[in-house]
Amino acid sequence: MLPEKGANGVSKEESELEFAYMESWAKNVWADTLGLPENYNFTAKG
C-alpha cells in the first residue's frame, strides 16, 4: 500500500475535526505530564 502522490498527512486548511483531535491530544499530554486525575476539568481563559 502506497500513499497518494503528494500526500503528506497535513491538510491545507484546519478543520473543526482536526482541531478537536489536536486539542484532545494536547490535553492528554498535559494530563500525563502533570499527573492530573482522569476526570480533571480543563478550563480555557479567553
Whole-structure pTM value: 0.61
Higher pLDDT, 27 or 2: 27
According to the model, what pLDDT value does residue 45 have?
Answer: 63
Higher pLDDT, 6 or 45: 6
Residue 4 in this model has a pLDDT that exceeds 90:
no
Sign of the four-CA dihedral 10, 26, 32, 37: negative
Sign of the four-CA dihedral 29, 31, 32, 38: negative
Q: Tell me the pLDDT tens digit for each residue of 6-43.
A: 777 777 788 899 889 989 999 999 999 999 998 888 88
